[in-house]
Amino acid sequence: MCGIVGYIGKQNAVPILIEGLKRLEYRGYDSAGIAVITENKAIIEKKKGKVSVLEKFVKGSGIEANIGIAHTRWATHGEPNEINAHPHFNADKSIMLIHNGIIENYAPLRKKLISEGYKFLSETDTEVLVHLIDKFYTKKKNLFEAVRNALLLINGTYGIAVISIYEPDKIIVARKGSPLVIGVGREENYIASDVNALITHTSSIVYLEDGEMAIVTKDNFEAKTLEDDKVEKEVVEIDIEVDEITKSGYPHFMLKEIMEQPESIRNSMRGRILMDEGVSKLGGLNGFEERIVDSERILIVACGTSWHAGLVGEYMLEQFTGIPVEVDYGSEFRYRNPIITPDDTTIFISQSGETADTLAALREAKRRQALTVGICNVVGSTIARESDTGIYIHAGPEIGVASTKAFTAQLTVLALLTVLIARSKNLSCQDGQMILKELESIPYKVEKILKLNDEIEKIAEQFKDAKNFLYLGRGYNFPVALEGALKLKEISYIHAEGYPAAEMKHGPIALIDENMPTVFIAPQDSVYEKVISNIEEVKSRKGVVIAVASEKDTKIEKLVNYTIKIPDTIRMLMPILTSIPLQLLAYHIAVKKGLNVDQPRNLAKSVTVE
């Protein structure tokens, strides 16, 4: 992985490919490369580091071509360097390939190819595939057939694009477990792993499904299965504006997306509240509401930040619907032989809708006949397409690797889902109206919190050199502690742990001293007094405490070193508010450390490999 772009048409492919790579930089990568065909010869350039390094080189070389492929790599096999960077190629550089995913059986294939005389330059799994294609091309002299036959030997995941100097009028693409789309133009066509790479050129998109391939020429595309059966594909019009994926004057995408949360939360609930009836309306669930309401159990599966949202959803759903809820990591779900029945509803949360572990878990649930519900941000994503039913969060494109607005939008949608189910159970119209009215007020309260940005930045200045952090919360705010710690780890590289506040004394309290800052999420809710007791335990051991507290709380300031006062709301919605100061705290600490908050090291926005 991580980013794929391709072009075939009448224009010079090089600037189009470079622009596409730039629009995929947010996904995280460590090297970049480009391959084009001009005058029946291949030109391949690869550079370690940023796309800008590659761009400077190719601009200076004056390369022009009408067909090409380009890639940003996030290392899986082999260290980040120019040799391991994509595109990979065969011995005479007649076939070039870019690949997202992991070839699981590359070792035996590599061994066999070496025994047949093939020489390998890189440490990657991908190079096996290009040599396999070369092997079949030598026999068949047909690029599509060579790629197809090579893929029949592959175990693992892939999104690939292949070009050859022997057939310079086409790009062969295929996908299995790693997203790939075709952008349709006039006398030109595009390919990419993410529609964001294409939006300045076309809004007409074709989504490839797992097990599908395509022959892409400048005038047409033809889709087939891996078994060589023709597939009719629908061209979908997407609605993303360029300004949605630009910084709009902010220094970083992350800060822009934090500041967009009042609007993204409004968008998540727009048209979904029927206040007179005290109920929510989620159009994506039409025809499935009764089955969800009658579920024996709800399973929520996700990874990372989405998993934290699922934990909050567990509190919401169990409190108001009475349905037992379990939350599982996508990466663990399918490997523990989970107990799933047709009476279960399984919910899969993923910002990108392409998270490999979550997608694999969804397919396992479908095999066991449970109802599958996708909660995604990206329209047309694989999880959205493969779920039985689902809900879009409508947060808008999220470019920063560390998720912010998608998290609060996920919580908003989970609150709406909770009200929808609960109103068919025991929740009264009056109580439903109360929750929904409070939900409608949340964007205004978020706006108020965002005005604390300067105050939070001053607190961040005091902790930019900290080596460790502890985040503590109880009830609904325990998942917020986990999320706050994750945000700090992701972008500042400071070790941080989230814990239930009461569990601190069962281990983490041993770490407390004057050098260990502790963040308490401490609104005035039903467990407030118990959290205060936990704060006193930390202070008695000379710990430094930052508290996220209710704005009317006059007691807590006397106990802690720093307070961030936020508006009150009902318990189930409090995580939307308490998470935002922690996003800002992590952001400002990372900026003050001089780090790249939008592209933190070793991380990718959409994790499409296991």
Q: Which residues are the active-site residues?
A: 2, 605
Q: How far apart are CA 491 and CA 405, in angstroms?
A: 16
* Residue whose structure tokens are 């999880």: 383
62 conformational bin, left if phi > 0, alpha if psi -120 to 50, beta if neither: left
Residues 161 and 204: beta-carbon distance below 8 Å: no
Indicate the helix (H) or strand (E) that contains 151. Answer: helix 143-151
- Extract the tokens encoding 473: 């919360």
Q: How far apart are CA 101 and CA 97, in angstroms?
A: 13
Q: How far apart are CA 240 and CA 238, in angstroms?
A: 6
Identity of the amino acid at 171: I
Indicate the helix (H) or strand (E) that contains 136. Answer: helix 126-140
DSSP string, 541-605: TT-EEEEEEETT--SGGGT-SEEEEE----GGGHHHHHHHHHHHHHHHHHHHTT--SSS-TT--S
Longest dimension (CA), the chain: 80
Q: β-pairing, 279-280 with 325-329?
A: unpaired
Burial class (CB in 10 A: 0-12, 13-18, 19+), 243: exposed
